[in-house]
């Protein structure tokens, strides 16, 4: 989601963009001013002009976040996040203290949760993108 179209690498120079992680580092190399703000503050930051753009997850989640209310310039798909993914984190000492059966339960439940989440995005992204475009969003896809 951008406040303007990006037509060259130079367009990133000085652009205030919210993107954490390696994607943000890559944009920083192009001259973007990378902003690491919490997800709960992104809508307000974009609508107030505190940032010029943001990445999010994909059409279904983006539509729910309401970014189409602020800007109509939408680039898909992101190089930095090919899809919604989940991970599980545990205290290593606690995990190691579990029986092999308990560890396997965590592994299986985590995998099932990931598959369910992925299936939700795969099932809903297409229709959400169509609604966004029908509402005037200009989807720009770069090869």
Confidence category of residue 27, pLDDT binned at 50, 70, 90: very high
CB 59 within 8 A of CB 22: no
pLDDT, position 22:
86
Confidence category of residue 16, pLDDT binned at 50, 70, 90: very high
pLDDT, tens digit, 9 for 90 and up, residues 81-132 = 655 666 788 999 999 999 999 999 999 999 998 889 888 888 999 999 999 9
Q: Is the pLDDT of residue 10 over 70?
A: yes
pLDDT, tens digit, 9 for 90 and up, residues 31-90 = 999 999 999 999 999 999 999 999 988 899 999 999 999 999 998 866 666 556 667 889
Q: Is the pLDDT of residue 12 over 80?
A: yes
Reduced 3-state DSSP string for 12-53 = HCCCEEECCHHHHHHHHHCCCEEECCCHHHHHHHHHHCCCCE
Q: What is the pTM of this model?
A: 0.80
Taking the CA atoms of the chain, what radius of gyration do you get in angstroms? Answer: 18
Distances (CA, A) of 99 to 92, 112, 124: 13, 20, 38
Q: Is the pLDDT of residue 135 over 70?
A: yes
Q: Give the C-alpha separation, 64 to 59, whole Å.
A: 9
pLDDT, position 121:
87
């Amino acid at each position: 989601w951008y406040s303007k179209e990006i037509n060259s690498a130079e367009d990133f120079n000085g652009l205030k963009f919210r993107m954490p992680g390696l994607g943000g580092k890559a944009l920083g190399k192009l001259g973007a001013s990378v902003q690491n703000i919490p997800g709960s503050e992104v809508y307000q930051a974009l609508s107030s002009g505190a940032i010029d753009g943001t990445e999010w997850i994909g059409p279904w989640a983006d539509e729910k976040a309401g970014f189409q209310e602020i800007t109509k310039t939408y680039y898909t798909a992101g190089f930095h996040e090919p899809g919604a993914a989940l991970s599980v984190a545990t205290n290593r000492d606690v995990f190691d203290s579990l029986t092999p059966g308990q560890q396997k339960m965590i592994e299986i439940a985590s995998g099932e949760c990931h598959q369910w989440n992925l299936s939700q995005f795969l099932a809903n992204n297409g229709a959400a993108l169509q609604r966004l475009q029908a509402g005037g969003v200009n989807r720009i896809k770069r090869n």
